[in-house]
Amino acid sequence: MAPSICTVAILMMVVVGASAAVLTPQNYWHAVLPNTPIPSALSRRLPKDDQGNVGSSQAVGVTVGPGVGVTVGTPGPGVVVNVNPFLYQYAATETQVHDNAGSALFFLEKDLVPGSRMTVHFAKTTTDVAFLPRSMANFLPFSSSKLPDVLSSLNVGSNSKEAAIIGKTLHRCEEPAVAGERRHCATSLESMVDFSTASLGSRDLLALSTEVSKPDSSKQVYVIPPAGVKKVGGNKTVACHAEPYPYAVYYCHATRPTKSYVVSLTGTDGTNVEAVVVCHTDTSSWNPRHIAFQLLKVNPGTVPVCHFLPSDHVVWARDV
């Protein structure tokens, strides 16, 4: 999916270049959240000019990288989980369970103690495509019922692999929420900020993403060092998961009760990770065949279920 002229790119240069001081996503962030640093998962997606300066016009590409979904399993090509494991109403296939049997894709809260050893591959789930300004994102169609218009606006062929990926993301964004959950697909950074502040009832927030010292590190065993587990915020968070799309789209959801942690990890090859962890203390509304229950051999609603966030996802919590 690499057209020579893209409607998105042209609109981006016109909208952002004409009114950068007013409309840039980063300016909106700093106006609403002046005390909250932008995490690297999001700063990598801010529009940049040809010199790499944030805040100028940028031609947004429309390529969707090969890492569609969550890449897990052995290093190398891995296994692509076509059903996002962070969508809790879906059942996992036997193949997905088998290929993740030795990985800490999900784990129990009791395992978050110094000395614990976990096999993890901290990989991005999508490519770092740029955010669009909200004015432009709102202008573009974003609905599975308007898929032909979506593909036309992005100059994507209707029978292409990229079209299928776009359609799957749109359907994910339209799935009904589970009990006690609020969800929103943010098609702009401004939209993500608004949903997170409204859901958490505050502008004094932390926005956290997993930081990996060697971004190309392979799947390996990590150990939690002494004093390596830090509790974050209260019992409510917003998690925003990157979705494969030609521009930055995040599936965000607010659930309660949850617990969030930042966990230090050291890998066998010397990779250091500051990993964001979300623990769900009420899983009673999840699909009983969800991959977490099958891997951990527990039942819905019985024990807290935790997972690391990939390096391109974000957790929001109150700064308490």
Query: What pLDDT is recorded for position 23?
Result: 65
Query: CB neighbours of 125 closer than 8 A, spacing ≥ 6?
Result: 67, 69, 70, 71, 241, 242, 244, 310, 312, 313
Give the model's pLDDT for residue 320: 75
pLDDT on residue 203: 93
Question: Is 311's pLDDT higher than 70?
Answer: yes
Average pLDDT score over the chain = 80
pLDDT reading at 291 higher than 60: yes
- pLDDT (average), residues 82-99: 67
pLDDT-derived band at 244 (thresholds 50, 70, 90) equals very high
More confident residue, 159 or 127: 159
User: For residue 48, is pLDDT > 80?
Assistant: no
C-alpha to C-alpha distance for 11 and 170, rounded to whole angstroms:
21
Asked if pLDDT for residue 179 goes beyond 90, the answer is no
Residue 98's pLDDT is: 67
Whether residue 76 is predicted with pLDDT greater than 90 in this model: the reply is no
Report phi then psi at 11, rounded to 5: -60, -40
Domain boundaries, the chain: 7-318
Residue with tokens 């996503």: 25
For residues 189-202, give the mean pLDDT. 96
Long-range contact set of residues 37-44: C-beta below 8 Å, sequence gap at least 24: 37/207, 38/207, 39/207, 39/208, 39/209, 39/314, 40/209, 40/211, 40/311, 41/209, 41/210, 41/242, 41/311, 41/312, 41/313, 41/314, 42/131, 42/189, 42/207, 42/209, 42/314, 44/128, 44/312
Selection from 78, 60, 59, 58 nearest residue 68 by Cα: 78
127 pLDDT band, cuts 50/70/90, is confident
Percent of the chain with pLDDT over 70: 77
pLDDT at 39 > cutoff 80 = yes
Q: Which of 99-108, 131-140, 155-164 has the lowest mean pLDDT?
A: 99-108
Instruction: Please give the pLDDT value at position 85.
Output: 66
Mean pLDDT of 240-263: 91
Check whether 16 has a pLDDT greater than 70: no
Per cent of the chain over pLDDT 90 is 51
